[in-house]
Structure 1
Amino acid sequence: MSDQCLFCGIVAGSIPSVKVAEDDTTYAFMDINPASDGHLLVVPKRHSKDLLEIPGDDLTAVTLAAQRLAKVAVEELGSDGVNLLNCCGAAAWQSVFHFHLHVIPRYADKARDRLTLPWKPEVAGDMDTIAALGARLSAGQG
């Protein structure tokens, strides 16, 4: 645990939270700045700064906990869908540097859902650029 980390403080119980679920590896709690009704966060109990640093076993545990809670959001809150969101790095909107997955229930009723897309997914990209970047990513795997 990091003494300076907000989420480590939440996991330790020194910072209050609305706990949703907990197991040996993960802790899930309600987001206090929710994008939709039922928005929560799932974190590993062991501190990892971000997606690039988290050990695989903790990543697996967080992802499986998020999946379980996404199912609960659909069943118990009546959400029409769920987004899982991770932000890795300040340029990608990460504001707390302890790995976390946002579990964001989505609703057709916009009174319950304040999240909007920041880009237009229906706008096609340049296929030559897409192919070149894909080749670089493929080659960079080792």
Structure 2
Amino acid sequence: MAVYDPNNIFAKILLGELPAHKVYEDNDTLVFMDIMPRSDGHMLVIPKTPCRNVLDASPAQLAAVMATVQKIGRIAMQAFDAQGISIQQFNEAAGGQEVFHLHFHVLPRRDGDTVRPPGIMADPGVLQAHAEIMRKAVDAAA
């Protein structure tokens, strides 16, 4: 298996070298808006420690990330008036992974909706508004 690249985009976000619309963080994880959202409120959950994907994650990294995925998923359902949540996770290029830092996609969904096609950048103002909706919902849930 390939090794972790400390220069990947998510590592740079963690270091503050690249911007992100942050939603939530704790000691072990960070949640931010996906810049190419497939649904309104599409977020990414990552560990704060180096980890390429599920295949090399420690049990502690997986436990921390999954706890945050569950917490954020529950809050996102209320914040975006969703009836469900899609959770996606990809491993290695052949498995669909594009950024080689462990991450889970959390997509609020409504009955009958379809996800947007991949690769379409969102308007930064929309991302900021969605991040603010989630931050307020996270604060209210605390």
Stretches of structure 2 that go unaligned for 5 or more consecutive residues are 118-142
Aligned-pair Cα RMSD in Å: 1.7
The SS at the match of 1:46 is: coil
Q: What one-letter code is carried by the residue in structure 1 that aligns with 2:50?
A: H
**Residue 46 in 1 paired to residue 13 in 2?**
no
Q: Which residue of 2 aligns with 1:74?
A: 77
Q: Which amino acid aligns with 2:23?
A: V
TM-score (normalizing by structure 1): 0.75
| TM-score, normalization by structure 2 | 0.75
Alpha-carbon shift at residue 108 of structure 1 (Å): 2.5
Q: Specify the SS of the correspondent of 1:15.
A: coil
d(CA) in 2 for partners of 1:90, 1:2: 14
The percent of aligned pairs where both chains have the same amino acid is: 35
Structure 2 contact 52–100 (Cα < 8 Å) conserved: yes
| Superposed structure 1 runs of 4+ greater than 6 Å apart | none
Partner in structure 1 of residue 103 of structure 2: 100
| Paired letter, 1:15 | L
**Over residues 73-104 of structure 1, what are the superposed CA-to-partner deviations in whole Å (9 max), with x where a residue is unaligned?**
11111011001111011111100000001111
Give yes or no for the alignment of 1:6 onto 2:12.
no
When Rg is computed on C-alpha atoms for both structures, the one with the higher figure is: 1
Unaligned runs of 5+ in 1: 117-142
In the comparison of the two structures, how many residue pairs are matched? 114
Shift of 1:4: 1.3
- Cα distance in 2 between the residues matched to 1:84 and 1:63: 10
Using the alignment, how far apart are the partners of 1:102 and 1:36 within structure 2? 11
Using the alignment, how far apart are the partners of 2:32 and 2:94 within structure 1?
24
* Residue in structure 1 matched with residue 88 of structure 2 by the alignment: 85
Q: Higher relative contact order at CA 8 Å, sep ≥6: structure 1 or structure 2?
A: 2
Q: Which amino acid in structure 1 is aligned with residue 30 of structure 2? A: Y
